[in-house]
């Protein structure tokens, strides 16, 4: 099976493309890329509806703004949504399934973002269609290998994993070396996240970091919601980011424009941009919110079922 290389590197960013702000990163304008490239990162959750696809879209857009070429892969074979969040729903005509069937080249299936020249989208298949069983769980492994061999490979391959832990999950995590586990601070999402973390580790993925999404500091302070620190302690994983509840997420989704492109930045967009910097540098959060520091330590075994 032959794949043609990626398109040549994008030209310099135009003046119309939003620039990355340095004021929230100690005056630096770009993070230091850690490790060999391309880095293959799966964004997963287990439970649906926690913001996994929104996270993938914004991480990919942030990477492109940092001039780090990224390919965002929608690995949901029947219910793709990543194209909607990136505003590319009318431009996806060919998919990875077409490439693997020999109907087109890989570079033809990659859709370049209009505003972010370093961002490409690749969908696994067309909406409401199933991936042929003959492709098996190695589908994305073949695609990732082809991108690695390209003369101009991307710096990151971000795989938007479907919800659940069935065959789609197995296909999505197969080529990954790192994982971003997205969860919300509620017990149903956390139980699923804990299960997924165990499956990732069993598959050999040891570099797993968590993003806690839809956090409300007012509820955390009133002890009506678990804090990011609670979540981190329960899952026992490094913290990549904490994203607050933000009404702008719905507007951003409906417009097909990632939050990180908003100017001025929204709280959620800023948190996702900061998470991208940590991802690039293989860093993790060490600071906790003031509300978390002030809260008394809870006693008891209410979450004792979280064990692997």
Q: Is the pLDDT of residue 145 over 50?
A: yes
Give percent of the chain above pLDDT 70: 81
Fill in the DSSP letter of residue 259.
Answer: G
Residue 266: the pLDDT is 95
pLDDT of res. 135: 64
DSSP code of residue 37: S
How confident is residue 294, by pLDDT bands cut at 50, 70 and 90?
very low
Does residue 115 fall inside a structural domain? yes
Say if residue 50 carries a ligand binding annotation.
Answer: yes
Residue 16 lies in a domain: no
Provide the domain count of the chain.
Answer: 1
Say how many C-beta atoms besides its own lie within 10 A of residue 98's C-beta: 18
259, part of any domain: yes
Residue 170 has pLDDT above 90, yes or no: yes
pLDDT of residue 78: 77
> Angle between the 187-202 and 228-235 helix axes, to the nearest 10 degrees?
40
Q: What angle do CA 45, 50, 51 make, to 5 degrees?
A: 95
Tell me the pLDDT band of 3, cut-offs 50, 70 and 90: very low
In angstroms, the CA 176 to CA 148 distance is 13
Residue 301 resides in a domain: no
Rounded to whole angstroms, how far apart are CA atoms 190 and 223? 17
**Per-residue pLDDT at 15:** 34
Q: Does residue 171 have a known ligand-binding role?
A: no
Q: What is the pLDDT of residue 24?
A: 53
290 annotated as ligand-binding: no
As a whole number of angstroms, the distance between CA 55 and CA 47 comes to 14
What CATH number is given to the structural domain containing 92? 3.40.50.300
User: Mean pLDDT in the chain?
Assistant: 86
The predicted structure's pLDDT at residue 150: 86
Q: 26 lies in a domain?
A: no
Residue 52, marked binder = yes
User: If residue 209 lies in a helix (H) or strand (E), which one and from where to where?
Assistant: strand 207-215
Domain interval for residue 127: 39-281
Residue 21 class from Cβ within 10 Å (0-12 exposed, 13-18 middle, 19+ buried)? Answer: middle
Q: Which two tokens stand for residue 241?
A: 């980011």
Position 202 confidence tier, pLDDT thresholds 50, 70, 90: very high
Distance CA 268, CA 265 (A): 8
pLDDT tens, residue by residue, 153-168:
999 999 999 988 998 8
Assess contact for 277 and 25: CB atoms under 8 A.
yes
Q: How far apart are the C-alpha atoms of 126 and 189, rounded to whole Å?
A: 28
Q: Per-residue pLDDT for 228 more than 50?
A: yes
At 296, list the tokens. Answer: 């008394």
From 13-27, 131-145, 275-289, the region with the lowest mean pLDDT: 13-27
Q: Give the model confidence (pLDDT) of 206-227 as tens digits.
A: 999 999 999 999 999 999 999 9
pLDDT band at 96 (very low <50, low <70, confident <90, very high): very high
pLDDT at 25: 60
Model pTM score: 0.85
What pLDDT is attached to residue 129? 61
Please, which pLDDT band fits residue 299 given cuts at 50, 70 and 90? Answer: very low
Q: Is residue 29 part of a domain?
A: no
> Is 51 annotated in some ligand binding site?
yes
pLDDT at residue 304 in the model? 40
Report the C-alpha gap between 173 and 115 in whole angstroms: 29
Residue at token pair 């993925």: 205
pLDDT classification of 19: cutoffs 50, 70, 90: very low
Token pair recorded at residue 222: 């009133």
Q: Is 48 annotated as a binding residue?
A: yes
**Is the Cβ–Cβ distance between 142 and 106 less than 8 Å?**
no
Residue 286: per-residue pLDDT: 61
Average pLDDT on 131-149 reads 82
| Residue 260 maps to a domain | yes
Q: Is residue 14 part of a domain?
A: no
Say whether 169 sits in a helix, a strand or coil.
Answer: helix
Query: What's the confidence (pLDDT) of residue 291?
Result: 44
More confident residue, 1 or 46: 46
**Poorest-confidence range of 2-16, 56-70, 190-204?**
2-16
- The residue that leads in pLDDT, 197 or 128, is 197
Q: CB of 148 within 8 A of CB of 154? A: no
Q: What is the mean pLDDT of residues 30-51?
A: 94
Helix (H, G, I), strand (E, B) or coil at 292: helix
């Amino acid at each position: 099976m032959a794949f043609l290389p990626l398109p040549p590197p994008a030209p310099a960013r135009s003046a119309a493309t939003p620039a990355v702000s340095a004021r929230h990163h100690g005056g630096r304008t770009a993070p230091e890329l850690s490790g060999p490239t391309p880095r293959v990162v799966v964004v997963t959750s287990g439970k649906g509806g926690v913001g996994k696809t929104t996270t993938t879209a914004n991480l990919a857009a942030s990477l492109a703004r940092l001039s780090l070429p990224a390919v965002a892969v929608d690995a949901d074979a029947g219910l793709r949504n990543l194209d909607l969040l990136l505003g590319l729903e009318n431009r996806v005509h060919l998919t990875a399934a077409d490439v693997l069937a020999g109907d087109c080249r890989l570079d033809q299936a990659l859709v370049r973002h209009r505003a972010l020249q370093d961002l490409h989208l690749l969908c696994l298949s067309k909406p409401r269609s199933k991936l042929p069983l003959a492709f098996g769980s190695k589908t994305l492994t073949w695609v990732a290998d082809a991108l690695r061999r390209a003369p101009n490979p991307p710096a990151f391959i971000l795989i938007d994993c479907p919800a659940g832990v069935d065959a789609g999950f197995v296909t999505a995590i197969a080529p990954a070396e790192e994982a971003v586990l997205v969860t919300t601070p509620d017990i149903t999402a956390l139980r699923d996240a804990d299960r997924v973390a165990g499956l990732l580790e069993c598959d050999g993925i040891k570099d797993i970091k968590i993003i806690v999404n839809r956090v409300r500091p007012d509820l955390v302070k009133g002890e009506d919601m678990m804090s990011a620190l609670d979540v981190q302690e329960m899952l026992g994983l490094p913290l990549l980011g904490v994203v607050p509840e933000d009404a702008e997420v719905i507007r951003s989704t409906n417009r097909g424009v990632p939050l990180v492109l908003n100017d001025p930045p929204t709280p959620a967009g800023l948190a996702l941009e900061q998470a991208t910097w940590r991802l690039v540098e293989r860093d993790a959060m060490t600071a906790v919110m003031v509300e978390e520091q002030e809260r008394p330590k809870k006693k008891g075994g209410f979450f004792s079922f979280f064990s692997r």
